[in-house]
Amino acid sequence: MTAEPLAAHAAYLERLKERGRLRALQPRGGVDFSSNDYLGLSSSGLLAEAARDALARGVSIGSGGSRLLRGNDAEHEALEAEAAALFGTEAALFFSSGFAANATLLSTLPQRGDVILHDALVHASAHEGMRMCHAKRQSIRHNDVQAYADALAKLRTAGGRGTPWIVVESLYSMDGDRAPLTELAALAEQYGAMLIVDEAHATGLFGAQGRGLAAALDGRADVITLRTFGKALGCEGAILCGPQLMKDFLVNRGRGFIFSTAPSPLVAAIARQALAIMASADDRREALWKRVEVAEARLAPLGVSATGSQIIPVMIGDDSRAMEIAGQLQQAGFDIRAVRPPTVPEGTSRLRLSVTLNASLEDIEALTECLAKVFT
């Protein structure tokens, strides 16, 4: 009798189900407390207008090939030039997603003999890139500057001549806390390291013109930043900003760039408009931070700690309990999701409460009232 070829896969999924960790796709429904559409741009109409304008002037929907073949479009180049000018870097390179950008960057730039020092909580896309590269890698305790300093000093004392790569997120997507970027940039300069900063959840929200938490570091020869368009900017894609040498090397050696169909020129045109909106969206940022302030105040009596950001984890601990509470809130009309291991560390299952302009102040008050009832 022939064995079922996917029997092991079925057994794995059954084990996940028994542990309360089986994932399934779930449609949108209720008030948005789970998306990354922080500034409410994805459905604002502003980007729809940009799409209509782009189509009217003949921008293509599909690219037709990789950018090294016929896929390179004037919209890609315009977006990269405008992003580099806005963020103050020599160059920028556009990708179809933040995952593709991170994976390509970290699978390509670090070389054999180099060492990657990454924050323990850095995104899965960074791990995917590191898994494919020839450099050694070491996990560093979350936001522990001294641990980075000790690892770098040990590397140099042992005679290591390769380039150290420090890999962090400026704002962590599950905890809502910030990386110590000033201190890490100083270490990069001291030890001849490259600092890679994923600004996915900070772009559009922090700093002048929404340029992010790493804006003061842009333009340095030892810093590369990643900005995504699919979160606060409301559309799709991501862009790496850094030295011209970064771009040239990725165009020549980055397999995730070379062998991938180029992103849609239409999406690039929309992303250009999203950047322009971001730069003048102080009113939206002000409205968002007012919502964050209200959410923090209403959650404090429930023992939920403020993060100073739009991402507020409501820690539950137990996987099944987190799913149960999320389900109750969803039935009450609030789209909030439970996050379980391995996305977060064992024993830290949580509700990831995301504050966006898609929820009003009244919605926030209603959610916290419902959460208080669930907790009692």
pLDDT at 160: 80
The tens digit of pLDDT for each residue in 102-158 reads: 999 999 999 999 999 999 999 999 999 999 999 999 999 999 999 999 999 999 988
Q: Is the per-residue pLDDT at 161 higher than 90?
A: no
CA 356-305-339 angle, to 5 degrees, is 60
Scan for tokens 């799913």, then name that residue. Answer: 323
pLDDT at 3: 67
CA 124-126-132 angle, to 5 degrees, is 105
The tens digit of pLDDT for each residue in 346-358 reads: 999 999 999 999 9
Choose among 232, 228, 174: nearest CA to 37: 232
Q: Rounded mean pLDDT of 21-31?
A: 88
Does 169 participate in catalysis according to the annotation?
A: yes
Q: Rounded mean pLDDT of 234-242?
A: 97
Question: pLDDT confidence of 48, banded at 50, 70, 90?
Answer: very high
Does 97 participate in catalysis according to the annotation?
A: no
Dihedral pair phi/psi, residue 228, rounded to 5°? -105, 150
pTM of the model: 0.94
Choose among 313, 123, 139, 145: nearest CA to 226: 123
Q: Is the per-residue pLDDT at 256 higher than 80?
A: yes
pLDDT at 18: 87
| Catalytic residue (choose from 34, 36, 96, 309) | 36
Choose among 237, 235, 263, 239: nearest CA to 250: 239
Q: Is the per-residue pLDDT at 2 higher than 70?
A: no
Question: Would you tell me how many other CB atoms lie within 10 Å of the CB of residue 353?
Answer: 25
* Token pair of 97 as six digits: 């997603």
pLDDT at 176: 96
Q: Rounded mean pLDDT of 275-279?
A: 97
pLDDT at 374: 86
Q: Structural domain boundaries of the chain?
A: 20-39+282-375, 46-279
| Catalytic residue (choose from 118, 123, 218, 309) | 123
* Token pair of 178 as six digits: 């910030």
Strands (E) located in 170-294: 194-198, 223-228, 238-242
Question: pLDDT confidence of 375, banded at 50, 70, 90?
Answer: confident
| Catalytic residue (choose from 73, 119, 175, 198) | 198
Question: Would you tell me how many other CB atoms lie within 10 Å of the CB of residue 221?
Answer: 13
Start-to-end CA span in the chain (Å): 55
Q: Is the per-residue pLDDT at 289 higher than 70?
A: yes
| Catalytic residue (choose from 107, 201, 309, 335) | 201
pLDDT at 361: 97
Cis amide prior to 301 (ω within 30 degrees): no
Q: HSE (CB half, 13 Å, CA atoms) of 127?
A: 8
Scan for tokens 């315009």, then name that residue. Answer: 78
Q: CA-to-CA distance for 161 and 125, rounded, in angstroms?
A: 27
| Catalytic residue (choose from 231, 236, 264, 319) | 231
Does 134 participate in catalysis according to the annotation?
A: no
Q: CA-to-CA distance for 110 and 376, rounded, in angstroms?
A: 51
| Catalytic residue (choose from 80, 169, 175, 199) | 169
Does 36 participate in catalysis according to the annotation?
A: yes
pLDDT at 21: 85
Mean pLDDT, the chain, integer: 95
Q: CA-to-CA distance for 355 and 353, rounded, in angstroms?
A: 6
Asked if 103 and 256 touch (Cβ cutoff 8 Å), the reply is yes
Question: Fold for domain 46-279?
Answer: Aspartate Aminotransferase; domain 2 (3.40.640)
**pLDDT above 90 coverage of the chain, percent:** 91
* SS3 assignment, position 257: helix
Q: Which residue type does 112 have? A: R
How long, in residues, is the chain? 376
Q: Do domains 20-39+282-375 and 46-279 have the same CATH topology?
A: no
Asked if 152 and 187 touch (Cβ cutoff 8 Å), the reply is yes
Compute the chain's Rg from CA coordinates: 22
| Region for 282 from its dihedrals, namely left if φ exceeds 0, alpha if ψ lies in -120 to 50, beta otherwise | alpha
Q: Is the per-residue pLDDT at 196 higher than 70?
A: yes
CATH architecture assigned to 20-39+282-375 = Alpha-Beta Complex (3.90)
Asked if 358 and 31 touch (Cβ cutoff 8 Å), the reply is yes
The tens digit of pLDDT for each residue in 54-102 reads: 999 999 999 999 999 999 999 999 999 999 999 999 999 999 999 999 9
